[in-house]
Each structure stands twice: as structure tokens, then as C-alpha cells.
Amino acid sequence: MLSDYYFNLFRELVYENSGITIPENKKYFLETRIKEHLKELGISSLKNYLLLLKKEKNIFRDFISKITVNETYFYREFFHLQALAYLVQTENLGNLVKVLSIPTSTGEEPYSIAIVLNEVLENKPFYITGVDIDKNAIEKAKRGIYGLRSVSKLPKEYLNKYFEIIDERTFKLKDIIKRKVKFHEGNILDLKFLKSLGKFQYVFCKNLLIYFDKPARIKAINNLYEIMVDGGYLFLGHAESLSGITSLFEPVKVKGYTVYRKVVEEEDEFF
């Protein structure tokens, strides 16, 4: 049994390095992941394990991979993809459409975006960046190979058009979509890293803020504001809201669903 003392030490380590808050009711979940990792590493001392996590970056990255949830599939919350398709066809925010997916998980979201944009933009160029703190998820995303559950919501015509069918349960994404997405391991709370990616008109940041406390949410939203073009759009998960968090984005309805538009600060005029 993981003692409260060590539970709090691990929680603090995760929070300090990722912004993720682990609630009390996730103690057993954390304990099982730690036991799994200890067995893989061949060590039994929690004290030595903590020191190792702090000292060895790759081991800490593996630990983060074990405690982050990568529940996703193609065309999840399809209404957001419909809203994006409408916006890119009706608003001019630049000749090159740039979209950020953070957290990108195992790639289903950014690749879904790429499929939609490939269908609606015709010859207009677009570029998608996927970011996640989980290096194992990023590696899977780069491979672009998925099981039946991941593609079960895709229309059959798109499955046939954009995937090579390896067998009845394995599907490999074609290069026409893969080459539209670039993946990076990174943290939403690292503004310097985010700025290195450039500016985006559209940002998908779904089901991440629910793992943050309010200070981390505010920092994350402020960071996204910094890397978005004026008037850009932020897509959150259906259970997430910016109410009471920030006034940097205003809620707007697009195709009947709420998205958030970056508020442009007015410059003071002097006469």
C-alpha cells in the first residue's frame, strides 16, 4: 500500500513537472502504475525510485506515460471537426491554415483534422502540429497504425481512402495524411517551447484542463493565447469551459456548438 507520505511526494513531482493534479481518489491508480514501473526497472525502494525519477529524464518520461490517459479515437466529438470545416471555409485567417492539437495523445485527433481539411480545403495548404507530454503516445502517433476501435467511427469511404487495410483489425494511415502532421514531445506549461512552434489559427486543447488546478489552467490558457493569431479559435472538450478562468477568449457559437475566439486587445490611442 502506498503511504500518504509517498503518495503526496509523487503527486508533487507530477504537478511540478507537468501541471497535472492527481486527486485523492486516484491513489490506487497511481500505486498500481508505480508497482508496474518498479517491476520493469527491477527496484523495490520507493526512495530510490523517487531519486531516479528526479535524476533520469527518460525514466521520468516513462513514468508520465504510465499515468496519463490516452483515451481517443478518430472523429471523436465530430461536431468540433464540423465547426472547424465551416470556419476554414468562411473566415480568412491566413493563406496557410495552421492547427495545433495539444494533447495529441496517439494521433487520432490531429489525423482526423487532417482528413477533414484535406476534404474541404481542396488545394489550399494546411499544416498540423501535434504535441503531447507522453513520449510513448507520440511514438505511436508517428507510426500511424491503429486498431479497429480507433477507426470505428470513421465513414467507410474515408477508411478506404486514407488507410491501408493490413488485416480486419489493423489499419495503417497513408502518407497523404501522415505527412500533414508533425509531432513534438512537450508541455503546454512551457511557453518557450510553445513559441518555438509558431502561431496557429486553430487550437484543439480537449480534455486536458480537467487534470489541472486553477493556477495551472490559467497558465495553460495564457500560453495558448500567446501562440494564437488574432481572432483565432480554441476548441475545448465538451465538459470544459473558460468561465471564471479568463477573459482572453470569448465564447462563440459555430454550427450550434461553443468554441472560444481569441479577443484582440485594443491599443490605446493618444491624440
103-142: pLDDT as tens digits:
999 999 999 999 999 999 977 899 999 999 988 899 999 9
The domains found in the chain, sorted by start residue, are: 4-67 (1.10.155.10), 78-262 (3.40.50.150)
Report strand pairing: 97-101 vs 200-204: parallel
What pTM, to 2 d.p., does this model score?
Answer: 0.84
31-55: pLDDT as tens digits:
888 988 898 889 888 988 988 888 8
Residue 209 and residue 246 in contact, taking contact as beta carbons nearer than 8 Å: no
Cell of 104: 495529441
- pLDDT at residue 71 tops 80: no
The pLDDT-based confidence of 270 (bands split at 50, 70, 90) is very low
| Distance between CA atoms of residues 208 and 210, nearest Å | 5
143-192: pLDDT as tens digits:
999 999 999 999 999 999 999 999 988 999 999 999 999 999 999 999 99
- pLDDT at residue 267 tops 60: no
| Distance between CA atoms of residues 160 and 164, nearest Å | 7
